[in-house]
Amino acid sequence: MRIATWNVERLKHRRQLPEIVAACEQAAADILILTETDARIRPAFRYCFQTTCPAEIAPGYYAPTERRVAIFTNYECVRWHATYDKYTALCVELATELGDLCVYGTIMGVEGNRRASFREELPRQLEDIAGLAAAGHNICVGGDFNLSFADNYYFTHFGRDALTKSFAANGIRLLTANVPECIDHIAVSERCLGGAEPDIAEWNQAKSLSDHKGIVVAIAPPAGGQG
């Protein structure tokens, strides 16, 4: 299974829309989580799930086509799960070769990681994730975390500590933790991994299509079947 995430910077590079869509498709992901995205970005997947348009709460700032999070996949949806904020986080449970997987796509800190809102929003997102784990679900958390873990590129101690403790408590592994200058991440329940090390690749390293790099992880199914 290949899982990818990319912040497309509110489609500020809209003149390069064909190249942005092509980059999304070339990642060859089974699950693609786009953040700061736009309904005009439609890579070739069977299904697209999106957060509610934030123009409802900030008209004039957001365009009617904007979405904070969209999840693209060819896997069928088993059910939707409610999140703390329908504009910022989205959770769909998908039927995959790893078993049913709750994909929680999010932006952690819509205004960045140094505003008071980050300290308010992050614990609520972690409550969502803990609730899914407590119910026994396999989980994939992906999106813009606004935190690097491998270096001092962009982070807060509060954010790093809160996420590290939450993932450890809920049996989730941050697969992209060792990628330098990386604030967009993918984390998956340990039991889905079977001890295997995922392959990791990036695109848009020159940041010509967005101010973020895209990242994709490849996970081999655990020996013996589904997680």
Report, as an integer, the average pLDDT of 51-57.
Answer: 97
Q: Mind listing the pLDDT tens digit for each residue in 89-136?
A: 999 999 999 899 999 999 999 999 999 999 999 999 999 999 999 999
Decide: 207 and 153 in contact? Cβ < 8 Å: no
pLDDT at 220: 86
Q: Which two tokens stand for residue 196?
A: 């295997």
pLDDT greater than 90 at residue 221: no
- Asked whether residue 151 is domain-assigned, the answer is yes
Task: Please check the confidence at residue 226 and state whether its pLDDT lies above 70.
Answer: no
Identify whether 225 is part of a domain: no
In this prediction, residues 28-56 reach a mean pLDDT of: 98
- Count: domains in the chain: 1
In a domain, 205, yes or no: yes
- Segment 152-198, tens digit of pLDDT: 999 999 999 999 999 999 999 999 999 999 999 999 999 998 877 89
Cα–Cα nearest to 145, from 178, 184, 87 = 184
Task: Kindly indicate the confidence band of residue 224, based on its pLDDT and cuts at 50, 70 and 90.
Answer: low
Angle at alpha carbon of residue 130, lines to 127 and 133, rounded to 5°: 155
Residue 167 is predicted with a pLDDT of 98
- Give the torsion through C-alpha atoms of 124, 125, 129, 131, to 10 deg: 30
Residue 223 lies in a domain: no
> Residue 157 domain-assigned?
yes
Tokens of 78: 């088993």
pLDDT in tens, 19-29: 999 999 999 99
**Taking 70 as the threshold, does the pLDDT of residue 141 lie above it?**
yes
What CATH number should be reported for the domain holding residue 77?
Answer: 3.60.10.10
**CA angle, residues 184, 189, 191, in degrees to nearest 5:** 145
Whole-number mean pLDDT of the chain?
95
Write down the pLDDT at residue 49: 98
What value does the mean pLDDT take over residues 132-154?
A: 97
Question: Looking at the domain assignment, is residue 227 inside a domain?
Answer: no
HSE (CB half, 13 Å, CA atoms) of 190?
8
Q: Is residue 224 part of a domain?
A: no
The DSSP bridge partners found for residue 201 are 216
Q: Please, what sign has the CA dihedral across residues 95, 125, 43, 38?
A: positive
pLDDT at 223: 64
Q: Which residues of 140-170 are buried (b: 16+ CB within 10 A; e: fewer)?
A: bbbbbbbbbbeeeebbbeebbebbeebbeeb
Which domain range does residue 98 map to? Answer: 2-218
Block residue for tokens 């008209």: 59
The DSSP secondary structure of 9-65, one letter per residue, reads: GGGTTGGGHHHHHHHHHHTT-SEEEEEEEETT---S-SEEEEPPPGGGTSBTTB-TT
pTM score, whole prediction? 0.96
Rounded CA gap, 180 and 170, in Å? Answer: 25
d(CA 182, CA 124): 23
What's the confidence (pLDDT) of residue 227? 45
**Any domain includes 163:** yes
Here the tokens at position 149 are 């873990």
Contact 32, 50 (CB under 8 A): no
Classify the C-alpha dihedral 64-65-71-77 as positive or negative: positive
Select from 43, 19, 41, 39 the least CA-distant residue to 29.
43
pLDDT of residue 13: 97
